[in-house]
Structure 1
Amino acid sequence: MSIDQLVSQMTLEEKVHMLHGSGKFTSAGVERLGVPALTSTDGPLGVREEIQNDSWAAAGWDNDFATFFPAGGGLSATWNLDLAKQYGEAIGQEARARNKHVLLAPAVNLIRSPLGGRNFEYFTEDPFLNKQLAVPYVLGLQAQDVISCVKHYAINNQETLRGSIDVQADERTIREMYLPVFKAAVQEGNAYSVMSAYNQFRGAYLSENDYMLNTILRDEWGFKGFVMSDWGAVHSTVESAKYGLDIEMGTEIDDYDQWYFSEALIGAVKDGKVDEAVIDAKVKNILYAMNQVHAIDTTGRKSGSINTPEHLEVAYNVAKESIVLLKNENNLLPLKDDQVKSIAVIGDNAKRKHANQGFGAGVKTKTEVTPFDAITTKYPNVKVNYAQGYEEKYLPNDLDRSWGLPIDYSADSNLIKEAVEAASNSDVAVVFAGSNRLVETEAEDRKGLRLPFAQEELIAAVKAANPNTIVVMIAGAPYDVSNVHEQVDALVWSWFNGSKAGDAIVDVLFGVVNPSGKLPVTFPKKLEDSPAHATNSFPGGPDVVTYQEGILVGYRWFDTKNVEPFYPFGFGLSYTTFDYSEPKVMNNGGTITLSLDIANTGDVAGKEIVQVYFGKNNSSIERAAKELKGFAKVELKAGETQQLSVEVPVSELAYYDVETSSWKVESGEYTVWVGASSRDIRSEVSVSLD
């Protein structure tokens, strides 16, 4: 039966009840016509444990364990599009095995401020890298017969006042910075669903924003699927119905009949406030997406798999390629297991698990390898001297929650004393520092860049006790690590990196893996250097936030304003070295191709990420000094040289012309920079466009 035939046989009541939740993660089907209830699950870090239909309480299943996948910061730090697709495939297979039609992922909002509470699950500050990662993720996920609900559409870049704040950003800014990832997910990834965000944009909530949901998403981009609200993000019946929302989810009202898209919507149709054709269109959007994943006619539908060794391998591969080597003086790393007889393992993060903390979605997993677990398992002949080092402590408060609490920065002298003793009695000391998912959490932005829980004092004391001190940061977003960088010879950055995080970290420390991650965000020297803070426009409030920095987000601001970052966008070291030849540039009219040789001039195999940035000379409009427009990750054996080509479509050089509402490429000369980061430029060439 066709979609039109199905809808024609439904009553008004049946149609409307497909448009709102009938449980925490379900919306109704029409059983008599063979249309099942639509089932969803949280997913940025893995498939959420099963909960009760009408409650957030766990269902108590013993078979809903899932793989804990690296958070978005980890995936983006790989700069590896093949891994992004494998990630999508694996998490999609797990959602399918749990009989879910919709995975609420990926979360792709641009990182505007280093303090954003959900930065750990987002990808990057750069719109090009953002969309390059999102498309293969969505393609891999939906190939498993699971709908990708890309979130949060759109311009949702802070947790402070997220449910009410009205974002004001000019048209060029949203088109060039905040919308490209959604456009690519819809047009190139063919995403079947989009989640509307909590916030307002230009005076209208995103769940009832005619310009964003109808004009741009459907009319301009040709989106065919359904728009699902974020949980509790709906504020109206008639406006939401007319202006593009398809499914209302997640209010705290227990009686589903009282939701905006329930009895009130039926009444609005009967009263002539909403045309029934609008309801029909919404149901067709839902049925279109369900058909794409064989949810109605299940012939040929994939069965999926969950918590498998293959999925753990994907999680490990992402984690190992995401780890960023920030400093390695005197070749302290990698460690030699035949030379290290004892090791001090210090820090709360050495044993902490991150799968299921904080506000929002977590993962119930059987497997989460900590760094302590990995060291003791992989190197049983090495004596491990463990010390907690610091305690997760919070100030007295009247907040009735466990997450986003005011941090106690005072040191515990006894814990530091124990750490110093462990370090003094070991060949090498490794401090596992950073953050956790109670500090970095949905619904709460961080208050600053300072490392929590007196970790700087701990690291200084350990370094004084043992010159061979290595620091491994486990966190999802930038912190001020300037003092740590100055004190120690080796500094490694990991993320909330999933079920195999500990294995990946330890393999990097001991040289089993040569680190190849590159930072997907800029680390500022101080918070005021970041654009949203330099312009005093984060988080805004009490009603409005204005994006004063415009198109100069992230490294675009630092490079254009000549502000020195602490770690630049795209930065990451290796245990080997790479030489770049002078690139040759060819312009065939529609594509610019850069060709160069890259050589591994060190003693070990490694992977390098070659980054290509463009800048317009003497531009007639405001532009960033440089913008990432291409990259390639290449693996080279020791002493090996490969020829590498990076193709950049000329259309990627376009700017959005507000007067004509169109994309335009300026004629003239462009500078092309090829480098190992946005600041580590290895060569510079020019190309002219007519």
Structure 2
Amino acid sequence: MKNKIISLSAAFAFVVFTSCKNETKSEGSDLAQTEHQSKALGSEFDSEINKLVAQMTLEEKIGMLHGTSMFSTGAVKRLGIPELKMADGPLGVREEISRDNWAPAGRTDDFATYYPAGGGLAATWNGDMAYTFGNSLGQEMRARDKDMLLSPAINIVRSPLGGRTYEYMSEDPFLNKKIAVPLIVGLQDNDVMACVKHFAANNQETNRDFVDVQIDERTLREIYLPAFEAAVKEGHAYSVMGAYNKFRGEYLCENDYMLNKILRDEWGFKGVVVSDWAAVHSTVKSLKSGLDIEMGTPKPFNEFFLADKLTAAVKNKEISEAEIDIHVKRILHVLFQVKAMGGKDRAKGSIATEAHYQDAYKIASEAIVLLKNDNNALPLKLDGVKSIAVIGNNATKKNALRGFGAGVKTKREITPLEGLQNRLPSSIKINYAEGYLERYEEKNKGNLGNVVATGPITIDKLDPAKVLEAVEAAKKSDVAIIFAGSNRDYETEASDRQSLKLPFGQEELIQKVLAVNPRTIVVMIAGAPLDIDAVSKKTSALVWSWFNGSEGGNALADVLLGKVNPSGKLPWTMPKKLMDSPAHATNSFPGGKEVKYAEGILVGYRWFDTKNIDPLYPFGFGLSYTTFAFDNAKSDKTSYGPSETISVSVDVKNTGKTDGKEVVQLYASKSDSKISRASKELKGFKKVLVKAGDLNTVTIEVPVKELAYYDVATKKWTVEPGKYTLKLGNSSRDIKKEITVTIQ
């Protein structure tokens, strides 16, 4: 596959990908309103689609508008219309399940590659890695003969306790969209639909089935919608999934404002809107409000709102058959678009190949974040080392199929212990000790999947025998590595965590091991922030990894041993304590039947930086085994018009002795603004490899329109004229250079 850089559009080198098929890259409206929307579907397929619809019975049409199995809609075999076949999910293609229930189908041909979770992908800060992720996963979807991937999940990380933080990408809308768009492009290059979810304002699992989210319009537009808008306008996503919750009093799968007025009329969305599973609450209203397909469980498929009830509604003249046709045509359009119909050669794909495992490895190795490295404790120097203690349940914990929600059945999931066994010389003895037990209170264990309750309650009392074993292993070893953190049973869809506390008594265990072996490295494996303030103070080296895919253990070992220089950056803020985070500081999480987003636009680092609250580790933070210096920062001009693009360049010098990748981050500030603003906002970034001793000039282009705020009075994006400060650094709190420009 060839790629050609065409611009550094507002952030990083956005890449036009060509000849991508089957290759792995190395690196309630009324009818008139609905008809108006459908004209946007004008395409080469229109005449063929119109002929098909003219031949269909009402029952055949309605069969296409709802699930007729757990993951597919109805086919019309006599007309050559196939089922629309869907698959989870965010970590790779989900195993096949039974057609009418959640039980695994028990097949032997549904193993797949387990890819790093969304938080890890975002931590790469690399659009090329996002494309690789989408393209590789798209090939696996086609090998399994699927049409639609129920992913990516791009909701904003509003609270660090969110059960799906591991899957969502970031607290920042700009980083979100710059990872989401190339992922969607890569996926759809393989004749597969991306289903971008969960639209929208779906930022908690607690009460997710009914909570009514209240967000002011400016916050909605500036924080919670940009990634979805980019997915539609730049990624040309074929599908969007409606969320469970309500927004301003209306369920999101029957929300005319969100689905018709914004998604279709404003953004020009041409694809299909699919419900989340069992997220539909009406028949006529949901269709008129913009929903196209109802999916879900557990009732019989003919009892869905868009099944027998819809047939009755048409016969009772509550809704016209002409309106049914509009939704059927949308579905046919996307089936033609991905060549499931029309007789064109469609991508065949491949699955669980060595090439795909290597794609997962590349992403994982760029996702790992080095948080602390006093006295160059890392990479591990093996001279004179005869033994290493490997401690912690997370050293052997497998996460691919764990938790509630979409997992992956994979033949390869390299654990951290296996990664070290694969990479360390045979002369070094590994002394493994489990250290802590993953245990939950039985009375609470049944709450997994209960979206009204908070997450599982952990048993945090250490087992004395396990502690003794761990301490003895650390004592008799030259170096100790503790693999701590969380897992996908603790961080899971359908429940939010109760606190940021390290579960299972791990903090006490870490202290005991550090007391007997000062050469102790701590590695956190988790998808969301944890309270690691005390651990961070005591240990000399701290590494953050993720639910990092089939090759996660190998990638982690390569970082610890220095084969890979870490280049990951945090995609969210790590708070010192929970009440420092905006949704908690404003006492507006999780709410009850209603939740008001009281922090407004000050989500994540915007809150910390504007309120001058020190985080434990800031947004965008991540160390390297080398050091970088920024110099000679300048813009191509000093003054710009509203339709122009600001071009900023800066020299990045590798001042250390190791080749490494740095992420240049560009934040914009306006101190004399007439409106309330965050102290700074991410508006561009670029990841660059700089060899030891070398200097690279990095150019980042920021369209002036990226500096706009949403003016609620005029309902328009508005660029305020005046002076702006462009801040260049390698985290939101480490600004190296500043440039002032004037916007006319």
> TM-score scaled by structure 2?
0.92
Distance, in Å, in 1 between the alignment partners of 2:290 and 2:297 is 19
Give the corresponding residue for 2:466: 415
Q: Please point out which of 513, 532, 535 is paired with 1:462.
A: 513
Deviation at 1:372, TM superposition (A): 0.6
Which of structure 1's runs of 4+ aligned residues deviate more than 3 A? 401-404
Q: Please point out which of 502, 512, 515 is paired with 1:451.
A: 502
Distance, in Å, in 2 between the alignment partners of 1:267 and 1:340 is 75
1:548 aligns with 2:598: yes
- Distance of aligned partners of 1:189 and 1:163 in 2 relative to their CA distance in 1, 3 Å threshold: same
Q: How does 1:308-327 map to 2 (within 5 A)?
A: 308-327=353-372
1:267 aligns with 2:312: yes
**Secondary structure of the corresponding residue to residue 229 of structure 2:** helix
Letter in 1 for 2:351: I
Q: Please point out which of 561, 565, 585 is paired with 2:635.
A: 585
Give the corresponding residue for 1:688: 742
Deviation at 1:375, TM superposition (A): 1.1
8 Å Cα contact 1:241/1:274 also seen in 2: no
**Secondary structure of the corresponding residue to residue 723 of structure 2:** strand
Give the stretch that moved more between structures: 335-344 or 657-666.
Answer: 335-344
1:211 aligns with 2:265: no
**Secondary structure of the corresponding residue to residue 156 of structure 1:** coil
Deviation at 1:298, TM superposition (A): 3.8
User: For residues 333-358 of structure 1, what are the alpha-carbon distances to aligned partners after superposition, in whole Å with 9 as ceiling and x for unaligned?
Assistant: 00123432210000000011010111
Give the corresponding residue for 2:707: 653
Give the corresponding residue for 1:140: 186
Q: How does 1:245-260 map to 2 (within 5 A)?
A: 245-253=291-299, 255-260=300-305
User: For residues 198-228 of structure 1, what are the alpha-carbon distances to aligned partners after superposition, in whole Å with 9 as ceiling and x for unaligned?
Assistant: 0000010000000000000000000111000
8 Å Cα contact 2:725/2:738 also seen in 1: yes
1:283 aligns with 2:337: no
Give the corresponding residue for 1:61: 107
Give the corresponding residue for 1:662: 716
Distance, in Å, in 2 between the alignment partners of 1:479 and 1:62 is 38
8 Å Cα contact 2:629/2:654 also seen in 1: yes
1:521 aligns with 2:534: no
8 Å Cα contact 2:671/2:679 also seen in 1: no
Q: Please point out which of 162, 166, 171 is paired with 1:120.
A: 166
Letter in 2 for 1:614: A
Distance, in Å, in 2 between the alignment partners of 1:348 and 1:75 is 24
User: For residues 317-370 of structure 1, what are the alpha-carbon distances to aligned partners after superposition, in whole Å with 9 as ceiling and x for unaligned?
Assistant: 000000000000011100123432210000000011010111001000000001
User: For residues 370-412 of structure 1, what are the alpha-carbon distances to aligned partners after superposition, in whole Å with 9 as ceiling and x for unaligned?
Assistant: 1111111222221000000100011241553667421111122
8 Å Cα contact 2:456/2:497 also seen in 1: no
Give the corresponding residue for 2:538: 487
Letter in 2 for 1:313: Q
Distance, in Å, in 2 between the alignment partners of 1:363 and 1:256 is 25
Letter in 1 for 2:476: N
Distance, in Å, in 1 between the alignment partners of 2:650 and 2:735 is 14
Give the corresponding residue for 1:500: 551
Distance, in Å, in 2 between the alignment partners of 1:399 and 1:250 is 24
Q: Which runs of 5+ in 1 are unaligned?
A: none
User: For residues 504-549 of structure 1, what are the alpha-carbon distances to aligned partners after superposition, in whole Å with 9 as ceiling and x for unaligned?
Assistant: 11000000000000000001111111000010000011x1000000
Give the corresponding residue for 1:229: 275
Distance, in Å, in 2 between the alignment partners of 1:351 and 1:194 is 36
Give the stretch that moved more between structures: 524-533 or 393-402.
Answer: 393-402
> TM-score scaled by structure 1?
0.99
1:51 aligns with 2:97: yes
Give the stretch that moved more between structures: 296-305 or 69-78.
Answer: 296-305
**Secondary structure of the corresponding residue to residue 687 of structure 1:** strand
8 Å Cα contact 1:578/1:608 also seen in 2: yes
Give the corresponding residue for 1:376: 421
1:511 aligns with 2:556: no
Letter in 1 for 2:691: K
Give the corresponding residue for 2:696: 642
8 Å Cα contact 1:70/1:319 also seen in 2: yes
Give the corresponding residue for 2:55: 9
1:102 aligns with 2:156: no
Distance, in Å, in 1 between the alignment partners of 2:56 and 2:335 is 17
Q: CA RMSD in A?
A: 1.0
**Secondary structure of the corresponding residue to residue 513 of structure 1:** coil
**Secondary structure of the corresponding residue to residue 500 of structure 2:** coil
Deviation at 1:273, TM superposition (A): 1.0
**Secondary structure of the corresponding residue to residue 52 of structure 2:** helix
User: For residues 429-476 of structure 1, what are the alpha-carbon distances to aligned partners after superposition, in whole Å with 9 as ceiling and x for unaligned?
Assistant: 000000011110000000110000010111001001101000000000
Give the corresponding residue for 2:374: 329
Deviation at 1:616, TM superposition (A): 1.1
Aligned residues: 688
Distance, in Å, in 1 between the alignment partners of 2:671 and 2:423 is 54
Percent of pairs identical after alignment? Answer: 60
8 Å Cα contact 1:393/1:407 also seen in 2: yes
Letter in 2 for 1:583: A
8 Å Cα contact 1:636/1:642 also seen in 2: yes
Q: How does 1:151-190 map to 2 (within 5 A)?
A: 151-190=197-236
Deviation at 1:633, TM superposition (A): 0.2
User: For residues 110-167 of structure 1, what are the alpha-carbon distances to aligned partners after superposition, in whole Å with 9 as ceiling and x for unaligned?
Assistant: 0000000000001000000000000000000001011000000000000000000000
Distance, in Å, in 2 between the alignment partners of 1:579 and 1:399 is 50
Give the corresponding residue for 1:197: 243
8 Å Cα contact 2:444/2:456 also seen in 1: no
